[in-house]
Amino acid sequence: MPQTRRPASRPAAALLRAALPPPALCGFLLLLALVFAASYAVGAGVGPVAPGMHGPGRTGGGSPGGHDGGGMDMGGMDDPGAPRGSEG
């Protein structure tokens, strides 16, 4: 039985197929985009979780850094920026 070689059919198609990412990767990225879009839509529909809460610098008052300590008592901790021996 003689073996005949068939010429390579469509070398451009093979080159294009090799350049594209695997279908599983495309499917995963599509699923990931759908999950993010759905979570964004749900979040936009629900609205803010804590409407009274504002980020640092939005309250208009407080210390110059925009951080007022959040009302926590640090239990006698010294100021880390103060020089040593200034407790007086």
Range of the domain at 25: 21-45
For residue 19, the model assigns a pLDDT of 83
User: Which residues, 6 or more positions from 78, have their beta carbon under 8 angstroms from its beta carbon?
Assistant: 87
Q: Quick one: tokens of 44?
A: 């936009």
Query: Over pLDDT 90: what percentage of the chain?
Result: 26
pLDDT, position 57: 62
In a domain, 72, yes or no: no
Residue 30 lies in a domain: yes
| Number of domains the chain is built from | 1
The answer to whether position 55 is within a domain reads no
Residue 47, pLDDT score: 86
Query: Helix or strand or coil: residue 40?
Result: helix
Buried-exposed string 19-47: b where 16+ CB fall within 10 A, e elsewhere: eeeeeeeeeeeeeeeeeeeeeeeeeeeee
More confident site: 59 or 45 = 45
Confidence (pLDDT) at 40 = 95
Write the pLDDT tens digit of every residue in 11-39: 777 777 778 889 999 999 999 999 999 99
Alpha-carbon 70 to chain mean position: 26
